[in-house]
Amino acid sequence: MPESEYDLEFFKTEGFIRQTCKSCGQAFWARTERDHCGESPCIEYAFIGSPPTNRARNVHETREAFLTFFERNGHTRVKRYPITARWRDDVFFTQASIYGFQPWVVKGVVEPPANPLTISQTCVRFNDVDNVGRTGSHFTMFEMMAHHVFNSDDNFIYFKDRTVELCDRMMREDFGIHPDKLAYVEAEWKGGGNSGPCFEVMIDGVEICTLVFMMYEELGDTRKPLPMQVVDTGYGLERMAWLSQGTSSAYEAVFGPVLENLKNQVGVEGDEKVLAEYSKVAGLLNLDNPGTLRELREKVAVRLGISVDQLLQETLPLENMYVICDHTRALTFMLNDGVVPSNVKSGYFARMLVRRAMRALNVLDLEQPLADIVGQHIEYFRPDFPELDENKAEILELVEVETKKYEETLSKGASLVERIEERLAGEPMAVEDLVELYDSHGLNPEVVAEFASSEVTIPDDFYQRVAEKHSTTKDEVAEIGDQSIEAPRTELGFYEDSLRKEFEAKVVYVAGNEVALDKTFFYAESGGQEGDHGFIEGNRVIDTQLVGNVIVHYLEDASHHIKVGDTVKCQLDWVRRRQLMRHHTAAHIINAAAREVLGNHIWQTGAHKSVDMARLDITHYAGLTDEEFLEIEQRANHIVMEDIPVISKPMDRVKAEAEYGMRLYQGGAVPGKEIRVVNVQGVDVEACGGIHCTRTSEVGPIKILRSKRIQDGVLRLEFIAGKPLYDWLVHHSNAVQDLSSIMDTKPEDLVKAVSKMATEHRALAKASFREMVSDADRMVEEALDRSERIGRVENYVEYEVIGPMKQATAVSKALAKTKSTFAVLTSSQQPTGLLLTCSEDVGVDCGKIAFEVSTKLGGAGGGKNTFAQISVPEAGMVSKVKEHIRQLVESS
């Protein structure tokens, strides 16, 4: 950026001098001449032990002082946006205060909620997760305090001079910073295709805020001015609280009673001198480099005149406490804002935090439940964030569920690590192996190192690597809506009259069986709702899709006579449309019912509404109990019977968000200045472009057919309403009648008759089992008669059981009681399965053999020392598998 971008009238008026840092070469502005820019690593932190502010402030006081200052100076305070950026499809999380206003406000499409405004925005970033607890200043969650201005040609408020003036005044007047300590370092900001000059504001070695001026659009080697000039500031709440307290680390300034409680339990306070030196040296190093952590510890040890081991004895307990505090605080807000821990998307990062925090608790040998610590954060932050208290029960339940999952993972850890080591055959574990154990099985690399029989090297940036791997929001798949055709934008008639069945329109595009009209009442597939069918001039329409901003009607037959310029008569398949409206409205109703029954962590993650059936995917950490399933269905039908109005209308985005909050974005990001809001009054409000019934009673009864977990943290509900439900009832009624005839009883007595038959069947099954056991004894004798000696095994048996696999299992259990026996059993009724069993004295591990054979030859296999199973893709492989097992036993 040219020097003129930074040459402000404010600097001239206040007597600032433009200088060059003798250490880093950066240009900066300060009131007095100095050699350095004021940023670490050019100087050490000078505020530790000697805060430059007029008084110490905790995070609550710092936040309030900041927001109050800007309110006094003409800014409107706005509420934070959720940590989960559901209004965007390019990121999972809010990572800066400006995210709440991107892309629509920044592009000038939508008015901001206020202008100018001030906010304290909760954010999370995972690019430095490995440094948390180690450096004294890194956090996964932080609050970015800001004042934002959105300047347009017809509404210019203020820009560079006023921005710097406000920052300078606040630091001096409200926080008591001496004017000579303030330095404004010239820098350039780029992001999202935009750029502009910025000032990094330094005080006593720490960058306290960044003042960004979005001015340009980047165009390769050139740039052009943006139509809107944006003031994008970011003040670190945690850093400002740290600066005011001068504590040995930012963690000591931020975590308040939560950290104190941990210290009391562990019995460690920490040496202030050691911790202060640690933070100072950390500020001098670039910790983005994985090797720098070792360098940091060595430098601190040298400065203190102690060994690295002595240093670690002092710092490691505190590092783990800091990790626990940081991760549980981040979890508190993430879970409150709708994240459900899982193996995918945003849930992956919540699970990472739980497992890292649990690992730290285990290292400290603390038995305190993680949920208790989260509860302490809720207590500490609820005065400023009352929503945490409102959702407390759900937040704690999510933590408890995830904690149990981690404990179950640890119980299986040793055998998992052992299998990996066997596969590696003496080779050291690579980072890829650690990632596999973490991603697929949930084992932290530190836990793997404990279970492993050989040394395991863990990269200092391990968690950063796995975080980057999971940071992509969606697959880059071309969608039909991203394409375009040469035709004018289609006027959407179905929004002005969703009940219109027939209409006339002018043809504006024809290509084969594709037809576009100037205006249509055919709904194009979108939001999971299938497109309309019908007729255009008697030609059947079999699909309707949105291509760019044009709705394309796909005809069944391309040999039609429709031409561009024709006025055509169109008819909707109204029975189909009506059914799609029922299913779409039912999805809203079920979503609301699930949220009411299961809690506020319920968010829609996907949906599909066809004529025959519909499905709704929601965030939930477990499968449904029978009681929950029934309660959701009952609540949904109660909403239907209440005959509630369903109001669909366009709304200004800002007004809709102000009135209904971010719950609007159940289906994900919705583009544009204006959004269509569907309000099932008093029940559910969503931004949705689909076509709906006008009252809930029009949906008719709803039947949830089944629920299933389609992936970790996501539950699918499949349901029907309207005609499909009637057909379902008829089918099941006929089935009851038929079954009643078969059972020779009345329909109302059918349950009693079937129960009686089931009791008799169980009695017969028991008798059959006794007979099967008797047969098993005979088969054991027969198998042993055919045995042979192989290696150390006196009785090596290969035997096919003429019967079910259940009987083969009974035979295997009996053979395992015979000394020096190893048996491979198959079943005549399940030709692709093998059972391996052995007596304990043979010293052969059936589970290992099954795993090795299936890994080498294909299929799946595993088990315990004395019993294992193998499943192969086809029966023809069984003989080859048997031969390989024989070789392994013989060589054991």
Q: What is the DSSP letter of 531?
A: P
- CB–CB of 388/475 below 8 Å? no
- The encoded tokens of residue 302 equal 């040298």
- Phi/psi of residue 878, each to 5°? -60, -45
Neighbouring C-alpha atoms within 13 Å toward the C-beta of 148: 30
The region of weakest confidence among 6-15, 553-562, 670-679 is 670-679
Single-letter amino acid, residue 17: I
pLDDT band at 11 (very low <50, low <70, confident <90, very high): very high
If we measure between CA atoms, which residue out of 649, 630, 530, 544 comes closest to residue 583? 530
pLDDT at 479: 40
The CATH fold assigned to 481-572 is Elongation Factor Tu (Ef-tu); domain 3 (2.40.30)
Section 583-601 average pLDDT: 95
Tell whether the model's pLDDT for residue 476 goes beyond 50: no
Domain 767-890 CATH class label: alpha beta
pLDDT at 478: 36
Give me the residue spans of the domains in the chain.
Answer: 38-250, 272-469, 481-572, 578-729, 767-890
Sign of CA dihedral 379, 382, 386, 392: negative
If we measure between CA atoms, which residue out of 653, 141, 45 comes closest to residue 349? 141
- CB–CB of 26/268 below 8 Å? no
- CB–CB of 284/99 below 8 Å? no
Close Cβ partners of 389 (under 8 Å, ≥ 6 residues apart): 378, 382
- The encoded tokens of residue 424 equal 């590696």
Tell whether the model's pLDDT for residue 449 goes beyond 90: no
Q: What is the mean pLDDT of the chain?
A: 89
Rounded to the nearest 5 percent, the helix, strand and coil shares of the chain are: 45, 25, 30
- The encoded tokens of residue 521 equal 């009442």
Beta bridge partners of 678: 648, 686
Tell whether the model's pLDDT for residue 643 goes beyond 90: yes
Neighbouring C-alpha atoms within 13 Å toward the C-beta of 640: 20
C-alpha of 4 from chain center = 44
Cα torsion at 754, 756, 760, 763 (round to 10°)?
A: 110
Q: Which helix (H) or strand (E) holds 636?
A: helix 626-641
pLDDT band at 370 (very low <50, low <70, confident <90, very high): very high
Tell whether the model's pLDDT for residue 837 goes beyond 80: yes
Neighbouring C-alpha atoms within 13 Å toward the C-beta of 591: 28
CA gap 263, 241 in Å, rounded: 20
Single-letter amino acid, residue 277: E
pLDDT at 456: 79
CATH 3.40.50.970 is right for the domain spanning 578-729: no
CA gap 152, 157 in Å, rounded: 9
Section 743-754 average pLDDT: 89
3-state secondary structure (DSSP) of residue 277: helix
3-state secondary structure (DSSP) of residue 191: strand
If we measure between CA atoms, which residue out of 113, 75, 102 comes closest to residue 230? 102
Tell me the pLDDT tens digit for each residue of 309-322: 888 888 889 999 99
pLDDT at 289: 58
CA gap 81, 196 in Å, rounded: 25
- The encoded tokens of residue 80 equal 């934070």
Number of residues written out for the chain:
892
3-state secondary structure (DSSP) of residue 649: strand
- The encoded tokens of residue 842 equal 């043979």
- The encoded tokens of residue 143 equal 């609050």
The region of weakest confidence among 233-242, 324-333, 405-414, 869-878 is 405-414
Section 415-441 average pLDDT: 77
- Residue whose tokens read 């449309």: 577
Tell whether the model's pLDDT for residue 630 goes beyond 50: yes
pLDDT at 78: 94
Section 759-777 average pLDDT: 76
- CB–CB of 126/464 below 8 Å? yes
Burial (CB < 10 A; 0-12, 13-18, 19+), residue 289, is exposed
pLDDT band at 219 (very low <50, low <70, confident <90, very high): confident
Section 328-342 average pLDDT: 94
DSSP codes, 307-367:
-HHHHHHHHHHHHHHHHHHHHHHHHHHHHHTT----SSHHHHHHHHHHHHHHHHHHHTT--
Section 8-15 average pLDDT: 96
Percent of the chain with pLDDT over 70: 96
- Phi/psi of residue 223, each to 5°? -145, 155
C-alpha of 226 from chain center = 33
Q: How many CB atoms lie within 10 A of CB 205?
A: 21
- CB–CB of 833/871 below 8 Å? yes
Domain 38-250 CATH class label: alpha beta
The region of weakest confidence among 554-568, 755-769, 794-808 is 755-769
The region of weakest confidence among 122-136, 220-234, 283-297, 303-317 is 283-297
- What pTM was computed for the model? 0.79
Q: How many CB atoms lie within 10 A of CB 575?
A: 12
Start-end of H helices in 665-803: 723-743, 750-785
Tell whether the model's pLDDT for residue 360 goes beyond 80: yes
Tell me the pLDDT tens digit for each residue of 497-550: 999 999 999 999 999 999 999 999 999 998 889 999 999 999 999 999 999 889
- CB–CB of 592/736 below 8 Å? no
Close Cβ partners of 197 (under 8 Å, ≥ 6 residues apart): 1, 5, 6, 160, 186, 187, 188, 189, 213, 215
Close Cβ partners of 500 (under 8 Å, ≥ 6 residues apart): 493, 494, 521, 572
pLDDT at 558: 86
pLDDT at 475: 43
Beta bridge partners of 188: 197
